[in-house]
């Protein structure tokens, strides 16, 4: 017990150290290039407006995708206005601390008679359906929208397919390894809980309308993400752009979907910087492009939440007058 407590404490302090190191590096890069960055943003501020519109569009479609999916599976329906309030709030919590908003959302659903298994299962269905759809679209885009030679295209596609099948057969892989006592039982238990939603969805048939909404909305969200990255990129490269910009987006998109990377401020910014350096661009450009995407997303989220609260208060005041 003491060893486990020590390990948890050590991991906690280690995480905080990594977090502050990342924040320091990002802050230093921004500070050292602040004049150049502000001049470019001022010169290309029209792209910032476009980014905000795209972020608002992404946020509301993202909210609707969650709302529609939960309401499809649940007997106890949730009003859209009620759901939107708690959903925006949970996203704000996720920006403050990784997974805090997810826990808050699960507690919100639990109070309304929805078990943790069901809510977690729907969450994983939304996550994996979007991930698999995005990987398919990335494979398609790599073939038709990049200037890579055929051999590199084939290698990239094979690598992406390997990731796809690894995720899809992850539980079977863990089961195979576990039977040979290579991994500890607790590891298998964690993976088993991760895929526990399968038992629930076997009891619920997915009609064509649900599948169309799930993957149709997912495809639109993916396209919006491409445009968000493109216009953030254009702030720094308004006169020219990288010929394989779709491939650059694909690499960064996959990195963002790795747990504990995309949601932690500073980590993904630094990864963006390293990718840009390897492409012959500047480290700070990658850092700031990711930071712009993150900041405009947070502005859209906070503004949406505040606007929704004002709207709700306005309706209540009208009802009181009546």
* DSSP letter string, 285-304: HHHHHHHHHHHHHHHHHHHH
Question: What pLDDT shows up at residue 10?
Answer: 62
Is residue 190 very low, low, confident or very high in pLDDT (cuts 50, 70, 90)?
very low
Q: Looking at the predicted structure, is the pLDDT value of residue 177 above 60?
A: no
DSSP 22-89: HHHHHHHHHHHTHHHHHHHHHHTHHHHHHHHHHHHHHHHHHHHHHHHHHHHH-SS---HHHHHHHHHH
Sequence-ordered alpha helix ranges (H) in 74-207: 80-96, 100-110, 116-144, 150-168, 170-179, 185-194, 197-201
Is residue 99 left, alpha or beta, with left meaning phi > 0 and alpha meaning psi from -120 to 50?
Answer: left
The pLDDT of 131-153, averaged and rounded, is: 76
The three-class DSSP label of residue 284 is: helix
Is there a contact between 281 and 220 (Cβ–Cβ < 8 Å)?
no
Distance, CA of 131 to chain centre: 10
Residues 6+ away with beta carbon under 8 Å from 244: 146, 147, 148
**pLDDT tens for residues 26-76?**
888 888 888 888 888 888 889 999 999 999 999 999 999 999 888 887 767
d(CA 52, CA 56): 6
The pLDDT of 202-231, averaged and rounded, is: 82
Is there a contact between 132 and 218 (Cβ–Cβ < 8 Å)?
no
Residues 6+ away with beta carbon under 8 Å from 257: 131, 134
d(CA 311, CA 295): 24
The pLDDT of 99-117, averaged and rounded, is: 79
Lowest mean pLDDT among 94-103, 125-134, 260-269: 260-269
Where in the chain are the domains?
Answer: 61-311
**pLDDT tens for residues 226-251?**
999 999 998 888 665 556 688 888 88
The pLDDT of 13-35, averaged and rounded, is: 81
Question: What pLDDT shows up at residue 48?
Answer: 92
Between residues 121 and 37, which one has the greater pLDDT?
A: 37
Question: What pLDDT shows up at residue 194?
Answer: 47
């Amino acid at each position: 017990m003491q060893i486990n407590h020590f390990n948890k404490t050590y991991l906690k302090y280690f995480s905080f150290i990594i977090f502050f190191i990342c924040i320091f590096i990002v802050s230093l890069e921004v500070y050292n290039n602040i004049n150049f960055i502000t001049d470019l943003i001022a010169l290309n501020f029209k792209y910032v407006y476009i980014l905000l519109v795209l972020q608002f569009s992404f946020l509301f479609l993202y909210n609707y995708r969650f709302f529609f999916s939960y309401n499809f599976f649940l007997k106890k329906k949730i009003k859209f206005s009620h759901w939107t309030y708690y959903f925006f709030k949970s996203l704000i919590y996720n920006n403050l601390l990784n997974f805090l908003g997810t826990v808050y959302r699960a507690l919100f659903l639990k109070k309304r008679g929805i078990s943790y298994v069901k809510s977690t299962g729907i969450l994983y269905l939304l996550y994996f359906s979007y991930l698999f759809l995005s990987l398919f679209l990335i494979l398609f885009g790599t073939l038709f929208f990049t200037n890579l030679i055929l051999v590199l295209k084939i290698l990239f596609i094979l690598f992406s397919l390997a990731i796809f099948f690894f995720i899809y057969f992850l539980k079977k892989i863990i089961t195979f390894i576990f039977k040979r006592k290579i991994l500890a039982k607790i590891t298998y238990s964690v993976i088993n809980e991760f895929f526990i939603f399968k038992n629930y969805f076997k009891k619920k048939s997915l009609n064509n309308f649900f599948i169309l909404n799930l993957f149709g909305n997912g495809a639109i969200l993916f396209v919006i993400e491409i445009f968000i990255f493109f216009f953030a990129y254009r702030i720094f490269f308004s006169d020219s752009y990288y010929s394989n910009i779709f491939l650059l987006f694909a690499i960064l998109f996959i990195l963002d979907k790795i747990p504990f990377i995309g949601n932690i401020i500073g980590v993904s910014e630094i990864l963006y910087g390293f990718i840009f350096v390897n492409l012959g661009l500047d480290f700070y450009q990658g850092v700031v492009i990711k930071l712009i995407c993150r900041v405009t997303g947070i502005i859209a989220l906070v503004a949406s939440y505040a606007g929704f609260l004002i709207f709700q208060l306005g309706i209540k005041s009208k009802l009181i007058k009546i």
